[in-house]
Amino acid sequence: MDLIFFIVFGGIALISAISVVLQRHPIASALSLVGVMGSIAVLYLQLGAEFLSMAQIIVYAGAVMVLFIFVIMLLNAGAESRRGRSWTAQLLGLPALLAFIALIGFFVQRGFSNVGFVKFGNFTGGSAQGVGMALFTDYLLPFEVTSVLILIAIVGAIVLARKEMD
């Protein structure tokens, strides 16, 4: 059951990710990216990360992607042209990518092939209570620093995107 779940949603994530890279129109890429994030949220649920799963849907699939689509619509971004690519990139791109994946897969299989199995329900510490407990005791300082980071990001975004006042 776990295996079927993983294969279905891992497959959706994989196909959507390929679609993100191959689609020519930014809107199509953005919608494929929503598919990737949704299926990764399901995989989080299977891994016992309930809080992160919901945060993934709300923050990524909700807020960040809406921001992306907003900007794509605002700038009226069209399909990108295929010309202007060096022949080395066209020739070596796909083999290099496959070699990279094969290398990582080889080392992961060698180093982590016997470390155990993921089964739904064998880790229950990822609820909102568990994450909140860790966040507000062991990781309180990083959490507070994060709020400063977000404040800086808000101010930066406003300063960058405002109209010039004369």
Partner 1 sequence: MPDPSQLINSGVPVSWYLVLSAILFALGVAGFLFRRNIITVFMCIELMLNAVNLSFVTFANQHKQVSGHIFAFFVMVVAAAEAAVGLAIILTVFKNRATLNIDEIDSLKN
Structure-token match 């510490």, residue found: 125
Six token digits for residue 52: 């992160």
- Site for partner 1 (CB under 8 A): which residue of 8, 42, 54, 55? 55
73 binds partner 1 (CB under 8 A): no
- Site for partner 1 (CB under 8 A): which residue of 87, 88, 95, 113? 113
Residue 30 · residue 69 · CB < 8 Å = yes
Least separation in angstroms between CB 48 and partner 1? 6
The dihedral sign for the CA sequence 153, 158, 164, 166: negative
Which 10-39 residues touch partner 1, going by CB under 8 A? Answer: 10, 13-14, 17-18, 20-21, 26, 29-30, 33, 36-37
Where helices occur in 2-83 by DSSP H, the ranges are 2-22, 26-46, 50-55, 65-75
Least separation in angstroms between CB 33 and partner 1? 5
56 binds partner 1 (CB under 8 A): yes
Which 122-141 residues touch partner 1, going by CB under 8 A? Answer: 122-123, 125-126, 130-131, 133-135, 138-139
- Site for partner 1 (CB under 8 A): which residue of 12, 54, 57, 68? 68
CA angle 41–47–49, rounded 5-degree value: 65
- Site for partner 1 (CB under 8 A): which residue of 12, 35, 47, 57? 47
